[in-house]
Amino acid sequence: MQAPRHLISTDDLSLQEMEALFESARAYEQDLSGWPDVCRGRIAATLFYEPSTRTRLSFESAMLRLGGGVITAADMNVSSASKGESLADTVRVVCGYADALILRHQSEGAARLAAECSSVPVINAGDGSHEHPTQTLCDLYSLWIERGRIEGLDVVFAGDLRYSRTVHSFAYALARFRANIVCIPQPGFDLPKYVVQRLREEYGVEPMKADASRLGHLAASSDVVYLTPQKPHQLSLFTDPQGLSVGNVDAVYMTRPQTERFGADSELDETKYLQLGKRQLAAESLRDAVVMHPLPRRDEISSEIDTDPRSIYFKQAARGVPIRMAILAALLGRTDVLGSSTPGPEPSWPAQKSGLVCGNQSCICHTEDRHVGVRFRLVSRVPLRVSCPYCSQEIEFGVVGCSTTEHFHAPDSRDLRKVHPEHMVFFRDGVHAQAAGFKAARGASTPHPG
Amino acid sequence: MQAPRHLISTDDLSLQEMEALFESARAYEQDLSGWPDVCRGRIAATLFYEPSTRTRLSFESAMLRLGGGVITAADMNVSSASKGESLADTVRVVCGYADALILRHQSEGAARLAAECSSVPVINAGDGSHEHPTQTLCDLYSLWIERGRIEGLDVVFAGDLRYSRTVHSFAYALARFRANIVCIPQPGFDLPKYVVQRLREEYGVEPMKADASRLGHLAASSDVVYLTPQKPHQLSLFTDPQGLSVGNVDAVYMTRPQTERFGADSELDETKYLQLGKRQLAAESLRDAVVMHPLPRRDEISSEIDTDPRSIYFKQAARGVPIRMAILAALLGRTDVLGSSTPGPEPSWPAQKSGLVCGNQSCICHTEDRHVGVRFRLVSRVPLRVSCPYCSQEIEFGVVGCSTTEHFHAPDSRDLRKVHPEHMVFFRDGVHAQAAGFKAARGASTPHPG
Amino acid sequence: MQAPRHLISTDDLSLQEMEALFESARAYEQDLSGWPDVCRGRIAATLFYEPSTRTRLSFESAMLRLGGGVITAADMNVSSASKGESLADTVRVVCGYADALILRHQSEGAARLAAECSSVPVINAGDGSHEHPTQTLCDLYSLWIERGRIEGLDVVFAGDLRYSRTVHSFAYALARFRANIVCIPQPGFDLPKYVVQRLREEYGVEPMKADASRLGHLAASSDVVYLTPQKPHQLSLFTDPQGLSVGNVDAVYMTRPQTERFGADSELDETKYLQLGKRQLAAESLRDAVVMHPLPRRDEISSEIDTDPRSIYFKQAARGVPIRMAILAALLGRTDVLGSSTPGPEPSWPAQKSGLVCGNQSCICHTEDRHVGVRFRLVSRVPLRVSCPYCSQEIEFGVVGCSTTEHFHAPDSRDLRKVHPEHMVFFRDGVHAQAAGFKAARGASTPHPG
């Protein structure tokens, strides 16, 4: 049996595949009730370990609109889990009941683990703060429909940019499509450094100070930053000492303050949250911008603009159905939108006999330790950096040994290029490596001059 | 886009439309499995903010029997609501996932609010103590099937007539159809005055003392009242000083004591509740009566009569499916049972700049104040009476000003006939009106002589 | 209307019918998506009074694969029941919404009661510790598929044989099929005496000491017992003073320690539970054995053998779908696998005016006393033994009177052969019988010599 194709992260899809999904979704959207035979005889199972009615209903609607059936476990945390069953085993069983699994879980990396255990396609419907690819695809699709393209668009992100997973994932995806981002954070809730770093490393995005004078009230009390994958000389925007001047904005993406993730001594008084209303929308730059929001909203978008034609957040939510129809039909093999080859995740290796432990306490690898060993994936060779294949977070270590030569090396040693990942043994430091019988290689404590 | 037609109250339907729904339901009932293409490709969403398994399952069965699909949120109160989303926004999103919304909510007026926010038909599956139109239609349909008509029937209401929403709604509907009601209340649990008042005002029903001697044990300890929309001289029943003599009864509608709504110092010992058993059913007047009950029952119907051919309460429950099939098919536009014109609710106006507040603490307008302003509807012009368009309860006020003339008037002033509702400003009393810059009109404090 | 056929216990099916269901299931299994018209237009309702996601999802998958619809009440205990409705009434209502009811309930005998109240087929999806026939059929079917037959197979039962309902039901079914059972209990968790007694009385199974030397590590610390319906002289196995030598095993059926049913002062340290891993599977006798488990597992099967081709527990779980397809299609009358005649349960009689009370506190008859009278079924005539028709447990009594002759008899009196069950009146002892006006029959206090 060939391994099925999964959707755990938007990184599992090429840009071409995403655009093919958008084309497919557009056809569905034009006649939602016209496709009752596409998935006839197929069943999708929704396994939700935490409630998310909106996401669940939109998946179920998508499957039903394709003529398929749905079996639902809306609160897995109160059922099988109480008999002590692991997620891995639950997935192994339920994949025998359905043709696709749609999983929502509070632990990061849960969907990747599920994919390893499943004989049918797994779709990640949110794994903790990690990924929620169908939300990101819905956002991209909505932008693509409204603007006709994604590349080169100017998208404002406003509000809580620090804790919103949705915004982080959308930022990576926009950068892949070579769109530009204008950050208007709630003061104190900037995009986290690790997000900016990934944008820089993977997509060549450079943050630049922006002149927000044409953005009006919305940007009145924030330091606005422009993130673009383009080189400065490619920018048509005018740059002066005030920073890059923001011109016509294509979309404003508002976010909800993730108050449930603020500490008790929250820095943010909820009543002072950045709000988008008639006054803010009146800015010249926003004249043609569409207003987006992942929903649910609280007060960050005033209901006074609900009837403004630029407000598309409810349309955006409704588009969750056709884009999920496109995803389900493709993964179930009912359309040929996705290549038959399975790109799959990057390879990973077991971290046997080594001290390597994923440092993310919310990662699924800690709760599923009976079935899942610690594994690692290569982030870079020189310097050697590794990450957890489940939650994607980098794992820290001091030195790394080679089980063949029994030497150990500093992470920035060029010798590591020759060590196969299967032979890597990780240690907190050289003392631990020596205690395990490894000898220091040339340059183990200092970088090899090369 | 044309506004969809909703079912919030049986008042949204004409008598002709209800009878057309009954005809349609009868066809479905004759072959429940024979309609798998009527709603093929359509989806209904059940949004239940409080559990009501029976109602939910009968709607879902109806939709499936028509070949449609169902997406279910059986306990909305534990999911999205926890992220602080308003009902209005939830409806705006979920109506993008389905072709019809079936809503159950604990707040009165919730369904009317939902209808205002939805681009697809909304069906009220119970909003607090307010309305539950499909239950009423099921009861009417069951009576219509059993008796061949509704007009002129004699229907006994027995038990808790005070707290049972079901009985109140059924009473209004029977009065509209010009059927007669014989009230046999549990002592102390009579029909409330406001229900009798509405029956009198809207349907010309007059309560008359009844001679219940032919009703036997069931009426032994109650004061029996006869409610009829017919004039005394039209009555074929014999009237003497004992009251109107109750003859052959067409149906007995028993109700469950709504103990959850009794106070801690309940007047009613549950064990002394009026019971219908073999002894009570032996009364001469009940020889041909069918026995109905909205279910669930406790002990008010003895299981000893379950096999009596007159006991139709389980058949009545089963008829919830065909009548809901008829409703769904009609609202989804799959039959032409309902007129294409949308009668809709009576018009309402915003109560701007005025002290008007709905006094019903269970009304949805209080919890949805972010999205819903206070509005009012006219109940009568002289004297001026207004009600909340959501929960239908009358709203109290002292005087009313006209924003054009800047005069204020007493509610019974004939001058108010000339004031457009858009210009009405309500005040607690004249002092408040004057403080707001209004002057007393002629007769503002005393009725205008006309 | 003809009474529908139900599935409450595997005893409701003949061996031929079970094999016909297996044949039918095998056809479904070969193309799970190929049967979307078998139950088109039909609806199954899943009523679960306790959560069991796995069981529920496999039933719902089966119904959907047959093209039918499903309405779901996954947690009945928090809905209607709160309004004080009896199970009997809920069943009477919901059977009007569906073509089949799938019931899970915590009380023993609940499914039998439901069958009495339902106008459509009832399928028992587990009633307390009593029966779970589709689990047993799934186990039998899996064995039948893997081995091509059931008769004569040698099946090892290992682990908690005391509290596992699954194992008890499977044991009875294997005995009916004339298969042999090798018990390897967790020390202290042997098969209960009443199970062994029933195996002996109903199927002629005799427990014999077994020589487990060829079973290796798995049997190292247990007293192994061989249960066979065959006579010793029919056995091809070699018997010596060490006991019957266990040869090639066909299947190992592992069970989960039912820790939730252990007392607080549990005899079993969970960490010392019998485990099946590579070492145990290496035994010579197990070379060709398939490994089965009803799931969920904890640690009793090591994940190291998940990839062993003998491990079929996940396949076994997946086979829950085709076997339930076969059951649903048959009960809904869509296949002719089951005879049209309804064998039904053995007859039972009301225990009127008698002191007979079912002694099982978990039996549904105690909570449904408003609708269900105490009834009894005959287990044997001489001596007279009776059981509860709901939970199947024997009911104790001292003497039994005949309401016609007004004499009372000891249970072992041969005169009782002449007393019709309708006339039987049960008493705790002769004193109570005499107080009720019965006279001692000849031999009432001592056995009649015959």
Out of B42, B130, B132, B176, the active site residue is B132
Q: Which helix (H) or strand (E) holds B140?
A: helix B133-147
Q: Do A43 and C51 touch (CB under 8 A)?
A: no
Q: Do B64 and C84 touch (CB under 8 A)?
A: no
Catalytic residues of C: 54-55, 83, 104, 132
C369-410 tens-digit pLDDT? 776 778 899 998 889 999 999 999 999 999 999 999 999 999
Q: Measured between alpha carbons, how far is B369 from B107 in angstroms, rounded to an integer?
A: 13
C18-69 tens-digit pLDDT? 999 999 999 999 999 999 999 999 999 999 999 999 999 999 999 999 999 9
User: What is the pLDDT, as a whole number, of residue A450?
Assistant: 37
pTM score: 0.94
Write the single-letter amino acid at C361. Q
Please tell me the CATH code under which domain B349-440 is placed: 2.30.30.20
User: What is the pLDDT, as a whole number, of residue C229?
Assistant: 86
Write the single-letter amino acid at B429. D
The greatest distance separating any two alpha carbons of chain B, rounded to the nearest whole angstrom, comes to 71
- Provide CB contacts within 8 A for C372, sequence distance 6+: C88, C113, C364, C365, C390
- What residues does CATH 2.30.30.20 cover in chain A? 349-440
User: What is the pLDDT, as a whole number, of residue B449?
Assistant: 40
Q: Which of B40, B47, B89 to mutate to test the interface with A (most CBs of A within 10 A)?
A: B89
C55-77 tens-digit pLDDT? 999 999 999 999 999 999 998 87
Regions of chain A with pLDDT less than 70: 1, 78-83, 231-243, 260-271, 340-345, 371, 443-450
The CATH homologous superfamily for domain A134-317 is Aspartate/ornithine carbamoyltransferase (3.40.50.1370)
Residues of chain A in contact with residue C321, where contact means CB-CB under 8 angstroms, are 96-97
Q: Do A43 and C57 touch (CB under 8 A)?
A: no
Q: Which of A97, A101, A120 to mutate to test the interface with C (most CBs of C within 10 A)?
A: A97
A281-297 tens-digit pLDDT? 999 999 999 999 999 99
Q: Measured between alpha carbons, how far is A9 from A389 in angstroms, rounded to an integer?
A: 12
Q: Do C97 and B321 touch (CB under 8 A)?
A: yes
B250-295 tens-digit pLDDT? 999 999 887 766 665 555 565 678 899 999 999 999 999 999 999 9
Write the single-letter amino acid at B105. H
A191-232 tens-digit pLDDT? 999 999 999 999 999 898 888 888 999 998 888 999 998 766
Q: Is B279 a catalytic residue?
A: no
- What residues does CATH 3.40.50.1370 cover in chain A? 10-129+320-331, 134-317
| Nearest chain C CA: its distance from B199 CA (Å) | 30
One digit per residue, the tens of pLDDT, for chain C of length 450 reads: 578 999 999 999 999 999 999 999 999 999 999 999 999 999 999 999 999 999 999 999 999 999 999 999 998 876 655 567 899 999 999 999 999 999 999 999 999 999 999 999 999 999 998 999 999 999 999 999 999 999 999 999 999 999 888 999 999 999 999 999 999 999 889 999 999 999 999 999 989 888 888 899 999 888 899 999 876 656 555 555 566 778 899 999 999 887 766 665 555 565 678 899 999 999 999 999 999 999 999 889 999 999 999 999 999 999 999 999 999 999 999 999 997 655 656 788 888 777 788 999 999 998 887 767 788 999 988 899 999 999 999 999 999 999 999 999 999 999 888 899 999 999 999 999 999 999 998 765 544 443
Closest CA to B100 of B70, B62, B126: B70
B309-331 tens-digit pLDDT? 999 999 999 999 999 999 999 99
Q: Measured between alpha carbons, how far is C105 from C86 in angstroms, rounded to an integer?
A: 13
DSSP state of A9: S
Please tell me the CATH code under which domain C10-129+320-331 is placed: 3.40.50.1370
| Nearest chain A CA: its distance from B371 CA (Å) | 6
Long-range contacts of B331-337 (CB under 8 A, 24+ apart): B331/B4, B331/B5, B331/B6, B331/B7, B331/B100, B331/B121, B331/B123, B332/B39, B332/B42, B332/B68, B332/B99, B332/B100, B332/B121, B334/B38, B334/B39, B334/B42, B334/B66, B335/B24, B335/B38, B337/B17, B337/B20, B337/B21, B337/B23, B337/B24
B174-226 tens-digit pLDDT? 999 999 999 999 988 999 999 999 999 999 998 988 888 889 999 988 889 99
| Nearest chain A CA: its distance from B446 CA (Å) | 41
